Structure 1
């Protein structure tokens, strides 16, 4: 199981702007990322991926040796 941590000021600022319903969606995304972070869509080469779900998009980086998922950005997208 992976640990989720916020890894950028951009992600922190975006989290503060989310509604309660969006926070609930984000928590669902985090639960999936804790178990299977490698199933996200690749953003080119390396361990940077994106997970789109129910109106939110999370860009993250996987640190396999530390069992961490580092959230770089959280964005809304039209559903």
Structure 2
């Protein structure tokens, strides 16, 4: 299991702006990332940055495999 942590002040500010239903979606995303973070969409084939899109929320994160951590960099809304 992976730990989820904030990797930027930007992500924290973006999360503060989410509505309650959007926070619920984010928590669902976090549950998946705790178990299988490497199933996200890779941003490049040589790096460890990923994006996970689900129900109008997009999470950009760095996977720190040896530390078993997911560092959240951005949390964006996208139209569904």
**TM-score when scaled to structure 1?**
0.98
Q: Residue 37 of structure 2 corresponds to which residue in structure 1?
A: 37
Cα distance in structure 2, aligned partners of 1:38 and 1:4:
13
Equivalent residues in 2 for 1:1-79, closer than 5 Å: 1-44=1-44, 45-79=46-80
- For the aligned residues, what is the CA RMSD? 0.5
The gaps in structure 1 that reach 5 residues or longer are none
Q: Deviations over 1:15-49 (max 9, x none)?
A: 00000000000000000000000000000131100
List 4+ stretches of structure 1 deviating above 6 A.
none
Equivalent residues, number: 79
The gaps in structure 2 that reach 5 residues or longer are none
More helix by share: 1
Cα distance in structure 2, aligned partners of 1:66 and 1:6:
14
Cα distance in structure 2, aligned partners of 1:11 and 1:19:
15
